[in-house]
Amino acid sequence: MKRIMTRAAYAAGAAGVIGISLLAASCSGATRPQQPVPQAITVVDTQPVALKSAQGSTTASLPNSSPTDLTELYKQANPGVVYVDVSSTAPNGQSGEGTGSGFVIDTRGDIVTNNHVVDGADHIEVRFADGTVAGATVIGQDPYSDLAVIKTDATVDELKPLAMGDSSQLLPGQAVAAIGNPFGLQGTMTTGIVSALGRTLPESASANGPSYSNPDVIQTDAAINPGNSGGPLLNMQGQVIGVNTAIRTGNQTGFGQATNSGIGFAVPVNTVKRVADALIKTGKVSYAYLGLTAQNGSLGSIASALKTNVKNGILVVNVAAGSPADKAGIRGGNNSQVVAANGQRIPTGGDIITAFDGKPVKQFDDLISLLNSYKPGDAVKLTLMRNGSPMDVSVTLGERQAQ
């Protein structure tokens, strides 16, 4: 597998094929090549720009009073949610169009949406809750988090920035609401709960080289469908706590579009704040890079096969040549010496990472999440087991290269 500092190459597969679908509505869907992701999920991209024959700043502050019921929440938040309409022309002359959602984050006209909503678009328009339509341009895109910032030329009177919450304070069971434009039905609100935290999704862009995972994703049962992409997931105070991005489903409409089955995913707002700030300032996001591939999950189920007593940690499978991990002397496995466990063939001899800068690493997702909180050039300490002996290794993080 070609992921470096991402999903492991040897994750156990689950029976059956279930789709993770990105939520931009389009006239026709295009299936991306399958990528190894958690539980053998097949990635299906309903392309937002699908070909068809013949598509001065004032940041929002917390509301003076919290909404007392859902009608008040909707009244407060919906004016800040926009309908995103995109179109494009392919080199062969065919046109394409698609729709998604977004939300206003300041009075300069900056709007957050998903990268897959606007990727490849030649023309973008946003429609506000009162029906006003304005043009928009892309300020910056980040396929790794599947986020983008677009800027509209709407007047200040139309811009109703939404307040940003704190996704680190979320708990499973917390009530949430989603507002967006499923199947083009503008201003639709649905409700549910935070079903789980800490999920991981693959990046939205298809790449020939290494691809990466987006950690700390929120799972929700609030109904989201194609067209909800880029819209806000809100807490009961009307604060954005995530950006609705994908669903896990095997259901489809008669037109082949994926539909909700009770499992949706949203990029957490703390990621949104960091990424949006960088995109507005520089047009890009810099990510720290380590340069290794590791065994998916924890060591518990394969520890005996590896003849190790370490139960919590990740087995390094491969180290990219010339990467920060390689320069620090991190060791990958030996493909000529493998063991069989849980239907997997696992290279042996690789280092087992148990902590990242003093923070425990129990599975690969932990490492991804921790790495994303550091910057290129930061020096970190990896705690690992090598041939049964504990040791610390210092690594200077590199910068992830764009594909």
Which sequence positions are flagged as catalytic?
A: 116, 146, 229
CA atoms within 13 A of residue 48's CA, in its CB half-sphere: 33
In a 10 Å sphere around its CB, with 0-12 CB exposed, 13-18 middle and 19+ buried, how is residue 95 labelled? middle
How many other β-carbons are positioned within 10 Å of the β-carbon of residue 403?
Answer: 14
Residues in the chain: 403
Q: Are 185 and 227 in contact (CB under 8 A)?
A: yes
SS3 72: helix
CA atoms within 13 A of residue 186's CA, in its CB half-sphere: 19
CA 69/CA 113 separation, integer angstroms: 26
Q: What DSSP line would sit under 32-97, residue for residue?
A: PPP---GGGPEEE---SSEEE-----------SS--SSHHHHHHHHGGGEEEEEEEEE-TTS-EEE
CA distances from 211 to 8, 219, 254 (A): 11, 22, 32
Residue 371 main-chain phi, psi, to 5 deg: -60, -35
SS3 181: coil
CA 160/CA 105 separation, integer angstroms: 8
Q: Are 150 and 140 in contact (CB under 8 A)?
A: no
Residue 70 main-chain phi, psi, to 5 deg: -70, -30
Q: Which two tokens stand for residue 374?
A: 């550091």
CA 379/CA 374 separation, integer angstroms: 9
CA distances from 247 to 84, 256, 380 (A): 19, 14, 35
DSSP letter for 191, please: E
